[in-house]
Amino acid sequence: MDDQANKLAVSRRQLLAALGMAGVMMSLGTAAANGETVLQHVYGPGGTGGPECGEASIACAASVDELRLTEPACEGQLLYLTGYYADTPGIGDGLLTAEQGTFTDDGGSVFRSGKPEWYWKRLGTELVLEHFGVVRDDVSAAAANAARMTAAFRVTGYTMSATPHMTYVYEGDVTLDTAHALNGRKAVFRGMAGCIRIASPGCVVHSPVLDDSLRTDNRRSMLVEADHVQIVHAEFKGNGHQECCLEITGSHASVSHSKLRDASYMILATTGRGTHISGCYFTGGNTRAVLTAARTGAAVIPWGDAIKLSSDTNDLANPNASGRHDNIITNNLFEDVYRDCVDLFTDGSRTVFSHNVIRNHHWNILDIKCIYRDVPANGTSVDPGRREEALIATGNLIHNVDNPYSSGESLFSVVHYKNPESAGKVPDYKLGPNKISIFGNQIDGVFGYVFRALDSSDVSYRDNEHYNLVNNAIYITGESGTRHIDVDRNKFYYANGKDHWGNPLQVIRRTSANCARGSVSFNKFVCDRKDGFRGAVAAVVMGDRMSANGNIGEGFDFVVEAAKGTNLVCDGTEAHDCKAAVRVGQYGAVTGVRVSRTYASSCAQVVAVNTANTAKLMLVDNDGVDITGTAYSDVSAIASKVVRNNQSM
């Protein structure tokens, strides 16, 4: 047998192997039925080749380099490529057919041949990255792999995917600018520098594993630039020091049923609109250190937000740009996240945060504020028309959070931070967040504050249940003014009347008389006094036109403290096992306070008035009234109206 016959025989055997045993058996059955030989059935009536090509129709190449030198004998000639590279047979192999015409050698699906205007084209409809020369698990091939993967995802006419559970090391950006899908099939993409850039609108990214253990640039694993991109069943393994795992700048991106861990921001959504994050698992953070504002150095404490939402810096020059995000964050699990679950540095957003589970957490659940950290050198406050808006947080289950109480952090933080340009608080509450509703959440075990509101308006915290609290829960202040901050219909349960440091508890604290037109109503406060200590005050009310109606307290010194301000209304307070239900004027002058329908059982007093600096006081339909101090033996001396009170205890 001459050399050509030997080569032909080898190619036939390799071709049959490529077709697989199932194909061979099918061929045998069909051939027997038709009276053909197996080779006639596979290659055509010529016996070993088609009628035009004959014996020369079968070809074989040991590598792509050899393939590009091989000349087709005729249209439709078959060729078996034993491997993309000669030293790795079986990887990137497959059947190709000869075609004449004008094509582009893309390095994977179509190759030029040794004959001008003739090409070799892969058969079938499915390709993997190895068909484009992507080398598995080889650092030395990382730079070339980035270009090869980019070329692979530009192929048309084939379904493109990774090989399941293989590892691909790349260095430099891998860009998907035309692909409809990235089918990761749980293959590992291990980036050294650069990222996987999704620039194709509507692209579906399914089940890749992005491993940053080799990363040196500390930036991001994946960047979504296009609109309407879907990321499903992905896994992001941060290296504990990178800026983010996934950055989203396109609009209407969806991230679902994915795992993200160990980065300063696991998802960083900066300029897009309509981000939807659901069914994901977040854990860890920046385990090495905190990056500075300029990202040039680091502090020493761990850092790590699960999600950061931040607006487009390009909008800063456009006062009419509302920058609305319309985000939905739902049904996620946040576990042992180092910093915030969601850090909202956005302007005018409408965000829903619902039905998530947060456990073993270390900082804020929602950190809602209105400065840009996209200008990291100094931060820039937004104008009054571009503040956080219409945020809803509901149905979340929160367990075991140890946010740093001494720093004033809280599970739900509604605040406008200090403006670096004025070295103080902003001059107008209208610059702060507004239209925020937090309701229907269950919270079990919190070390720090639960809810904090500062320099904001139209904020509602209602119908939430709190168990196993150990410190003050609610902190509301108004250095620059707060308006319509309502804390209504909540339940607060304490096992002890003193906080972690042994100080008497104030469940709801208002520390400034700049608050206005807020409500602390229809709440239930229970302190079991396990160690014999009462809580100090359930709710401190300060400000202008504030109301505290229908509150129930058990085991506190005072249920409601109408402490300072004007036109305060305290109606329907109910107290059990307390010193008094309501106390007036503890922290300064009060004008126009109305205390009515107060009821107390097992209490030393019902209503106690604590200061002479009280004007226009009205006491109506209370069980009992007492003036603390020797100077005021007759309540009528400082009250404008005292009617229908039972003053005998």
pLDDT tens for 251-265 read 899 999 999 999 989
Q: Looking at 44-48, 129-133, 263-267, 614-618, which range is the least confident one?
A: 44-48
Q: Which of the two residues, 170 and 510, has the higher pLDDT score?
A: 170
Which pLDDT value is given to residue 79? 96
Residue 302: both structure tokens together: 């761990």
Q: Which of the two residues, 16 and 494, has the higher pLDDT score?
A: 494
- Residue 82 scores a pLDDT above 70: yes
pLDDT in tens, 599-649: 888 888 888 887 666 778 888 888 766 544 333 345 555 555 566 665 543
Strands in 447-555 per DSSP E? 449-454, 457-462, 465-469, 474-477, 482-488, 491-494, 506-510, 515-516, 519-521, 524-527, 535-544, 547-549, 552-554
pLDDT in tens, 491-516: 999 988 888 777 888 899 888 888 89
Mean pLDDT is highest, among 36-45, 205-214, 416-425, for 205-214
Distances (CA, A) of 633 to 564, 625, 636: 22, 11, 9
User: Span 338-348, mean pLDDT?
Assistant: 79
pLDDT in tens, 399-448: 998 887 766 778 998 876 544 334 444 556 776 778 899 999 999 998 88
- pLDDT band at 26; cut points 50, 70, 90: very low
Q: Report the C-alpha gap between 551 and 103 in whole angstroms.
A: 79
Which pLDDT value is given to residue 480? 72
Q: Which of the two residues, 315 and 219, has the higher pLDDT score?
A: 219
Q: Which of the two residues, 648 and 285, has the higher pLDDT score?
A: 285
Average pLDDT, the chain: 81
Residue 336 pairs in a beta bridge with none
Q: Report the C-alpha gap between 345 and 351 in whole angstroms.
A: 12
- Residue 295 scores a pLDDT above 90: no
Task: Say if residues 67 and 110 touch (Cβ distance below 8 Å).
Answer: no
Q: Looking at 43-47, 68-72, 643-647, which range is the least confident one?
A: 43-47
- Residue 525 scores a pLDDT above 90: yes
- pLDDT band at 38; cut points 50, 70, 90: very low
- Residue 570 scores a pLDDT above 80: yes
Which pLDDT value is given to residue 379? 43
% residues pLDDT > 90 (the chain) = 51
Which pLDDT value is given to residue 137? 94
Task: Say if residues 195 and 218 touch (Cβ distance below 8 Å).
Answer: no
Q: Which of the two residues, 506 and 7, has the higher pLDDT score?
A: 506
Residue 296: both structure tokens together: 């040039």
Query: In sequence order, what are the residues at sequence separation of 6 or more whose Cβ sits closer than 8 angstroms to the Cβ of residue 565?
Result: 513, 515, 541, 542, 543, 544, 546, 590, 591
Which pLDDT value is given to residue 52? 57
- pLDDT band at 59; cut points 50, 70, 90: very high
| 235, 237, 241, 247 alpha-carbon torsion, rounded to 10° | -20
- Residue 47 scores a pLDDT above 60: no
- pLDDT band at 224; cut points 50, 70, 90: very high
Which pLDDT value is given to residue 39? 38
- pLDDT band at 2; cut points 50, 70, 90: very low
pLDDT in tens, 526-542: 998 877 788 899 999 99
pTM of the model: 0.85
Residue matched to tokens 């400065």: 371
Q: Which of the two residues, 266 and 388, has the higher pLDDT score?
A: 266
Burial class (CB in 10 A: 0-12, 13-18, 19+), 261: buried
Q: Looking at 265-279, 326-340, 568-582, which range is the least confident one?
A: 265-279
